[in-house]
Chains A and B, each alone.
Chain A
Amino acid sequence: MTVEIADAGVAQPEAARGRVIHPVWVRVCHWVNAIAIVLMIMSGWQIYNASPLFPFSFPRSITVGGWLAGALLWHFAFMWLLVVNGLVYVTLGLVTGRFRRKMLPIRPADLVADTRAALGGHLSHDDLSVYNSVQKLLYLGVILAGVVIVLSGVAIWKPVQFQELTAVFGGYEAARYVHFFAMAAIAGFIVIHVVMAVLVPKSLRTMITGR
């Protein structure tokens, strides 16, 4: 962590002075995304159930839409919210330099040390303005999974009009699996993310009030 603090020299005093850790655009994008991704995943499970890729289905009680057509309506409505919000977030993250400042660099040695500390429950979350390398990896990873899930979704939706994109994923059937595994990655992230927010409640407060 000491290495990271040097890099995050700007963020550190900010937190110390009680200034905003998450600017308003980060918080708005975060919560809009939370609504969109949960509805996309739950309606997606109902759609999956119409023709499962694996020998299991999702219990209907945790799906959205009631039946295939309903789930499709939800999925193809909230995709707009997910994509537009995602574009705003990624654009601002790049333009403001937040991604670079907060999530880079990820050094393998830190990753090993932080993972070990995290698993032992010793990883400090005292300064929420600085991400440890496990956080950096997961946050960057879930952004990447978000990009993959949108692109593979478009590939499944428009395998004729955007057939070049579908081909990048190895064709229509392969794109379905990519879409599924991207969902699984994001769902896995959400589980860890929510558990961490419960374990470190002030991080939840910070994502609401910014401080």
Chain B
Amino acid sequence: MSRKRLVIPGVDAKLLVRDAAKVAPDPARRLFLRGGLSVGALAFLTGCDIVDSASAENALRTVSRFNDKVQAWIFDPNKLAPTYPESAITRPFPFNAYYSLDDAPEVDGADYKLEIGGKVETTRPWTLEELYALPQETQITRHICVEGWSAIGKWTGVRLSEFLRRIGADTRAPYVWFQCAEGYSNTIDMATALHPQTQLTFRFDDQILPRAYGFPMKCRIPTKLGFKNPKYITALWVTDKDLGGYWEDQGYNWFSGS
């Protein structure tokens, strides 16, 4: 399998290049609180000293973890994301990642094997042919990016819950972790993994999933923001441990439910 291991892995979200420049990851990440500090006028109102930006960041991340719990509590395993008619599909559907389309992973479908691990009965890897033979369904749902924009797409694949059943996953484990060809990763909660619309996706808009949208396989999760919908998936683990994710580790909310 030809896997491109990129230094900078990617996500869902259009406006990639523009964002990469705009977001300027390295220095900006540490400048996190600069905006907050510049609100000097607020310091006297709050009466607190926002001197230590690291402790302020920690406080905000603590609230973010609290928000994960709130969102898990709000999450209704039976509530379906709204579905749309064919006419509502956004064409062309935006390509979005941390890198340009030219740098997107090129996975060789013939060599592809989905690695399985963690709390499952069978860790035998799956070929694309075997995956394509699984029962599939189609959804037309809204993809919502953490940036705010949204687009409606049509995805076809197998329910993740069905796949987890077939590999004998211990669904009492709290997490499912995805590893992707370019080094991207995601951990999701088991409740979302078992949601009826959470799908291992092989086709987009009736075509074999194009490279831009995650060939050979992505995980479509209409109850989560786009960046929690990993593309180019190469490994799936059922785990007791939260293994984090590319954007989550940088400060994006972990649960990021819609």
Q: List 10 A-B contacts (CB under 8 A).
A: A31-B45, A35-B46, A65-B36, A68-B146, A69-B247, A72-B252, A73-B64, A77-B63, A158-B258, A160-B258
B45 contacts across to A, CB distance below 8 A: 31, 34-35
Residue A170 is within 8 A (CB to CB) of chain B in the complex: no
Judge whether B39 and A64 touch: CB under 8 Å: yes
Residue A189 is within 8 A (CB to CB) of chain B in the complex: no
Taking the closest CB of chain B, its distance from the CB of A205, in whole angstroms, is 16
Residue A14 is within 8 A (CB to CB) of chain B in the complex: no
Interface residues of A in 105-159 (CB under 8 A from B): 156, 158-159
| Chain A contact patch, size range | 35 or more
Judge whether B32 and A51 touch: CB under 8 Å: no
Taking the closest CB of chain A, its distance from the CB of B222, in whole angstroms, is 7
Which candidate, B74-82, B155-163, B178-186, is the interface stretch facing chain A? B74-82
Judge whether A51 and B81 touch: CB under 8 Å: no
Among B64, B75, B148, B250, the residue within 8 A (CB) of A48 is B148
Q: A35-B42, A69-B250 are in contact. Are A64 and B79 (CB under 8 A)?
A: no
| Chain B contact patch, size range | 35 or more
**What is the bound-complex CA distance between A64 and B41, given in angstroms?**
13
Taking the closest CB of chain A, its distance from the CB of B41, in whole angstroms, is 8
Judge whether B39 and A158 touch: CB under 8 Å: no
A67 contacts across to B, CB distance below 8 A: 23-25, 28-29, 31-32
> Which chain B residue lies CB-closest to A31?
B45
Among B25, B39, B74, B251, the residue within 8 A (CB) of A161 is B74
Judge whether A64 and B35 touch: CB under 8 Å: yes
Among B35, B63, B144, B258, the residue within 8 A (CB) of A60 is B35
> Which chain B residue lies CB-closest to A49?
B22
> Which chain A residue lies CB-closest to B81?
A160
Residue B100 is within 8 A (CB to CB) of chain A in the complex: no
**What is the bound-complex CA distance between A73 and B257, given in angstroms?**
15
**What is the bound-complex CA distance between A31 and B67, given in angstroms?**
25
Judge whether A72 and B36 touch: CB under 8 Å: no
**What is the bound-complex CA distance between A72 and B122, given in angstroms?**
40
Judge whether A66 and B31 touch: CB under 8 Å: yes
**What is the bound-complex CA distance between A43 and B79, given in angstroms?**
30
**What is the bound-complex CA distance between A50 and B20, given in angstroms?**
11
A158 contacts across to B, CB distance below 8 A: 74, 257-258
Is chain A's binding surface mostly helix, strand, loop or mixed?
A: helix
Judge whether A38 and B39 touch: CB under 8 Å: yes
Judge whether B34 and A66 touch: CB under 8 Å: yes
Judge whether B142 and A159 touch: CB under 8 Å: yes
**What is the bound-complex CA distance between A75 and B232, given in angstroms?**
31
Judge whether B148 and A47 touch: CB under 8 Å: yes
Residue A76 is within 8 A (CB to CB) of chain B in the complex: yes
B31 contacts across to A, CB distance below 8 A: 66-67
Judge whether B60 and A74 touch: CB under 8 Å: yes
**What is the bound-complex CA distance between A80 and B228, given in angstroms?**
24
B150 contacts across to A, CB distance below 8 A: 172-173
List 4 tightest A-B contacts by C-beta distance, closest first: A69-B251, A50-B147, A51-B148, A77-B63
> Which chain A residue lies CB-closest to B59?
A77
A31 contacts across to B, CB distance below 8 A: 45
> Which chain A residue lies CB-closest to B67?
A76
Chain B 224-254 per-residue mask, 1 if CB under 8 angstroms from chain A, else 0: 0000000000000000000000010011110
> Which chain B residue lies CB-closest to A65?
B35
Judge whether B223 and A72 touch: CB under 8 Å: no
Judge whether B74 and A70 touch: CB under 8 Å: no
Taking the closest CB of chain B, its distance from the CB of A162, in whole angstroms, is 8
Residue A40 is within 8 A (CB to CB) of chain B in the complex: no
